[in-house]
Chain A
Amino acid sequence: MIKYESISDLVTAANARNIKLSQLALEDQAESLGITELELYEKMEINFSVMKQSVQEGMKKDIKSTSGLTGGEGYIMNEYAGKNDGGLCGEGLSKAIARALSVAGCNASMGRIVAAPTAGSCGILPGALVSLYEDRGFDEKDIVMSMFTAGAIGMVVANRASIAGAEGGCQAECGSAAAMTAAALVELMGGTPDQCADACAMAIANQMGLACDPVAGLVEIPCIKRNVSGLMIAFSCADMALAGIKAHIPADECLDAMKEVGDVMSTTLKETAAGGLATTPTGIKLKEMVFSDK
């Protein structure tokens, strides 16, 4: 059984058998859950199909969050992505942004999502994976398998640092999701386990210290758009790793630093809505608007 306490241990174990991180995690988890690898794969396949549905649901034009503060961002971005060669980011990336916004918007409107690793950060992994599936023709089986790589990385993050905004700030939610997604993307593009770890390390380093400061305490502002920054970091760090750029600080040390930063972070910046964007004049005004008993 694997302990999921070190990304470097995962890489060493995969390299020793010349297998992908996803295969390593699939075998281990099947054994630990007492089911066959096929049964486990099929469970993950269901999660991928829910992700595809969340993209569709959240991309509807008239979708609104329960508070009424947000809604429709996925639709607007998707329209934009189809015009002018997709704007500055190009059509591929712009559509991925639209999908991340859609899933996060689906969550805010009480739609069905897969927490990955949390509800607040649920748009990052599907934003990347559904895009590779729908726009780039990647095989569904490879994509579902890459979710095991993302999951294995996420378990190490949870064990070594945190995946809860209340414990570690947004770096623990969107940061973790970006690291998990970066590793999955590297594997899908044919990268090595070492490159997965590098992408992961760079993604964590790039979101180090990010506060969790939701306006009115709701999973909307800035959470929905932070799914986009997490997605962009995942893509860029995966590409850097695939290009051969190495992380200067190893992934495990990045996680230890993330834990330390989360521990010293003020509680006002850890999902309490008592600081950051939540207590800006506009943040307070929006809160009053939502909670007035009208």
Chain B
Amino acid sequence: MNIFDIIGPVMIGPSSSHTAGAVRLGRVVNKLIDDRKLKKVEITLSGSFAQTYRGHGTDRALLAGIMGYKSYSPEIRDAHKIAAERGIEYTFIKENIKGAHPNTARIHYFLEDGSEGVMQGASVGGGNILVKQINGMDVEFSGDNNTILVMHEDKPGVIASVTNMMHWEHEDLNISKFHLSRQEKGGEAIMTIEIDNKPPETLVDEIRGIDHVLNAILIKRV
């Protein structure tokens, strides 16, 4: 904790968990989409998010985050209008996601190029978030650190290849957190790797070049 955790953050109100945290959840999706063009989002709100989203502006906050705005951007207030101007379709669905944290959102995004993806995460208080699922697979990261998601085939040696490469090519790179899950034995798996350092520009492409790796995405601090 530092002094700006107390006198700060600068944020758009009214709620650190229901507004600022929601923007950050949206920003994770923004990073997943990267430069590609967004066509449509279906946002499922669960628990307290479903109950109080309108009064807290949670809907606008999620939408603003998806479009790349930050938790202190005044544009959050006009997120619906901005999305319409950008030609982004959006719908909000109220549904209780079983077993999920009370402030959970699931964002299903559809891109112009026909691809799609789903992210599920929770706003866990004080503007902090926890991303719980990506494309149906369990992940766990807070967005406070630079995070690399590696989608790969569930085969022996893939984790070793990725982490060895990271160390050989970038000696100072330090992993602070590691999480792995898979859909089924031998199926698709996902590694969540949080690092202390600024990620080297070449890192993601280097990981993509490793055998049995399907894709790698860098999610910078949100």
Contact = CB atoms under 8 A, between A and B. Distances in A.
Q: Do A and B bind each other?
A: yes
Given A25-B3, A67-B55, A164-B126, A219 B13 contact: yes
Interface string A155-195: 10011000110100000000000001000000000000000
A47 B10 contact: yes
A113 B125 contact: no
B54 A67 contact: yes
Given A44-B7, A116-B6, A154-B6, A109 B51 contact: no
Nearest to B60: A110
B168 interface: no
Nearest to A49: B10
A4 B74 CA distance: 33
**Residue from A29, A107, A163 whose CB has the most chain B CB atoms within 10 Å:** A107
Interface stretch (A145-153, A227-235, A255-263): A145-153
A7 B176 CA distance: 33
Contact of B11 (A67, A113, A155): A113
Nearest to A58: B13
Contacts of A109: 13-14
Nearest to A109: B13
Interface string B162-176: 000000000000000
B145 interface: no
Contacts of B52: 216-218, 291
**Number of contact residues on B: which range applies?**
20 to 34
Contacts of B16: 115, 118-119
B57 interface: yes
A25 B3 CA distance: 8
**Residue from B8, B13, B74 whose CB has the most chain A CB atoms within 10 Å:** B13
A32 B5 CA distance: 14
B7 A154 contact: yes
Contacts, number: 130
Interface string A99-126: 0000000111111111111111010010
A47 B57 contact: no
Given A158-B1, A164-B126, A119 B13 contact: yes
Interface string A25-44: 10001001100000010011
Contact of A65 (B2, B9, B10, B14): B14
B74 A112 contact: yes
A110 B13 contact: yes
B2 to A, nearest CB: 6
A265 interface: no
A14 B78 CA distance: 47
Contact of B7 (A47, A66, A119): A47
Contact of A115 (B2, B9, B125): B9
**Number of contact residues on A: which range applies?**
35 or more
Interface in A33-64: 33, 40, 43-44, 46-47, 50
Nearest to B77: A110
A66 B10 contact: no
**Residue from B12, B20, B48, B51 whose CB has the most chain A CB atoms within 10 Å:** B12
B15 interface: yes
Contacts of B60: 110
B54 A291 contact: yes
Interface string A180-213: 1000000000000000000000000000000000
Given A217-B48, A217-B55, A114 B15 contact: no
A43 B51 CA distance: 36
The 7 residue pairs across chains A and B that have the minimum distance between CB atoms: A107-B13, A154-B6, A151-B3, A67-B55, A219-B14, A218-B55, A217-B52
13 contacts: A65-B55, A66-B55, A66-B57, A110-B19, A112-B74, A114-B8, A119-B13, A150-B7, A155-B5, A158-B5, A218-B55, A220-B55, A291-B52
Interface of A: 4, 25, 29, 32-33, 40, 43-44, 46-47, 50, 65-67, 69, 106-120, 122, 125, 147-148, 150-152, 154-155, 158-159, 163-164, 166, 180, 216-220, 290-291
Interface of B: 1-16, 19-20, 48, 51-52, 54-57, 60, 72, 74, 76-77, 125-126
Given A66-B14, A152-B3, 16 more contacts: A47-B7, A47-B8, A109-B13, A114-B11, A116-B6, A117-B5, A122-B13, A147-B7, A150-B6, A154-B7, A159-B1, A216-B52, A217-B55, A219-B14, A219-B15, A291-B51
